[in-house]
Structure 1
Amino acid sequence: YYLGACMLVILATQFSVDAVSRFFSIDSTVLSAFKSLFLLAGLVQGLILPLMVFASSLEAAGRFDQVYLTNVACLALRVIAIIYVLRAGGGLFAVGATTILSQLLAYTIQVPLAIRAQRGLTLHPKWIRKTVLWDMLRYGSISVGVGIAEKMKAYIYPIVIARFLTPVAVTFFAALPMKILAFPSEGIGSMTEIINPLSSQLDARNDFAKLRDLIQMSVQSAFLILAPLAAFLFVFGRELLALWVGPQYSSAYPLLVLLTLGIGTAATQCCVQSMLFGIEKHKQLVWYRLGEGLSITVLGSAALRIAGLEGFALVIAVTLLVTSLVLVPRHLCRILNLPLRRYLLQGCVKPCVLAFPMAAALIALRYFLMVNAWPAVLFAALVGGLVYALTLLFVSLFDSYRPFRLLKPDVLQVLEQKIWSPPDSKFRSMVNALRSEVSQTD
């Protein structure tokens, strides 16, 4: 199945290279290098499709350590190789080929690891079954469609900007706020990979109560990470850009705020998509992802002409907020018989409210602290992190009071049980003594 998809990708690349070159009006001086790089990218992306099966097998075997280790090692190797190529005077094709081939290397290394992790795994043609192939066509075609739609959404930003503005605008948009958001969004998204197999097991047992608890706590965990990061970027994002790339680029701060709202929120909802795949209710995802891409392309192009990059970022933020907080969660909530209002309040609003004290502390700190060097930024981050940690601890300690109990996310209760067990631990005794003392004072 994936070998067939590989051939389709390679053929599509071969037939579209001239049209893509004309679409972007590639200069004749780099036209040959661009075409060669485009063909190489299509070849590598096609080969990655069947190799992804082995990476998924590693994840199914629970060997996430090997998956992440190979990815990190190949990423480090990519950085070293690109630096070497640049110092050696490599051109467009050399740098691009180094980047693309390093991605292929990670998937190639994972093939023998997957074969070793899955005992008895064989690629002999005698094990090919028509029924399995039909199931792959039925299930995999939807999955591939969702993947293609997500890739289109991810890569549509530079295409639209380059079409209507300049390559400098692409760099301004994609290399500044997008790169800052890459770390939290990819990190939050990777947390949800375990949701797929776990939700599949729960669905096989028809345990919808556990599925509801799982999705609620997964979304809460994601927002508990995103909320403090977003608060810090909202308050000190301008200073962060000025220190990173220079004061002249601090004007990208409005883009950073808008994209944090859209892309950050979308990252927290990756668990919803993973669960839909796990319980095989992901057919409508194709239309949601295609709708995102069309909205960003059509409305974003119009906004780009009228309001520039800020208008384009606003369209992206609104589109992702609508699909991530309304359309896709509503689809899952109907399946799980979970009210959407409860899902949003418990999973999204509670963790964000807990970040308010940190945001207030950062705003106050901004008026008293001159943030013009990296040590000042790190100090502000430490202060904000300390306030946030104390807020979570305070809510956990005094959850016997109704206001704090209403604000306490369920995932904190689970962490509390894990950290404070067994019940006779010294820390638990100290907490109980503190609670009783406060109650007597009241």
Structure 2
Amino acid sequence: MAKFKFKLPDIGEGIAEAEIVAWHVKVGDEVEEDQGIADMMTDKATVEMESPVAGKIVELNGEEGEMLAIGSVLAVIETDEIPDEEEEEPSAAAARLSEERAREKAEEKVVESVKAQSEEQSDEPEPAPEPAPEPAPQPAQEAKADHKVLASPAVRKRAADLGIDLADVTPHGDRVRHSDLDQYLTYNAGYHAPGRSAKREDETVKVIGLRRRIAENMAASKRHIPHFTYVEEIDVTELEDMRGDLNADRGDRPKLTVLPFIIAAICKTLPDFPMINATYDDEGGVVTRHGAVHLGMATQTDTGLIVPVIRDAQDKNVWQLANEINRLAEAARTGKAKSEELSGGTLTITSLGPLGGIATTPVINRPEVAIIGPNKIVERPAIADGELVIAKQMNLSISCDHRVVDGYDAASYVQALKKVLETPVLILAD
């Protein structure tokens, strides 16, 4: 038997190190060739490392959450595939071949840190952070669903530890999440897990992978950027009427949410406000005002917040934007978004959809200088031509980098955006 040292291959241009997000094997396990042994994270992509040889795991280097340099030994595998006389170090040819194969596999397979089962997304994706839902009572026993309950491995494990049948839990979305388990426990006071009290135990969760990167990025944004937020109320009654008319005659095109219209309006008003569609290199002291609108859209996934980018959004109509929103949201949630689709944004929109609340104070996606957050649409009494009417109103928030954008400019831009959204025919005009 020979000991093969599987080194972390070059898994992306310019990548010097990667984080160990998850081990799929332990010392002593037998592995097959091409079997996944670990998930490694670089920037925003999680790559599954597959064993280039069959054999027995005799050593694993590093714990989950640790950083490992490219070229470092990830695992040592005892195998018959390398000559015995070179037990400690495989031949140069064998090592080179194995690294090339590992690199090819890494480039081909980008996956989520948590490989949750996925189902077809709804025709109205909400690319936004999804906070915990407002508590709503649940019955202790509900009719079990005929289809398989969707949940991440972490949620399944927690439910199993608590002795909860996931079919008894009502999900607020496409799958059962931790917040749904919390709600189930809250409204089933008589519930007792086997061998446990009803009181929930403390949990210690290591912050690694995408969650750690989100934490680092958000902290850096708040630390470096002096934020200010401006909120305006917008009457979207006519916009909603137009959206309904277009959806009624859409044929095989995707159902339109309000998001494509907001994005189209943003693109239409930005040329007069170049300071909004900009990035700031604070180390170099340079602001770049971008001509094209590469719009990032904050998308909630099971592993955390990801921001895929709609390239050249200014050149797309509402139908094309709807298609791109659906495509990118699906790619982000299933871990299939390409690296070029997760970088290079010039402005970000974060929509909470029906969970949007009254107002938001979104955090800027550095090095961008602004982020726009439309809130939920609600019916409110309003005065029109001296008469009391019921209008569909939506508050819209914008956070800006005060080093680059003045309050007057931000307010002026939102007023221009308000005019277009309240006169939606302007969105479709050339």
TM-score by length of structure 2 reads 0.26
Greater share of strand = 2
TM-score by length of structure 1 reads 0.25
Greater share of helix = 1
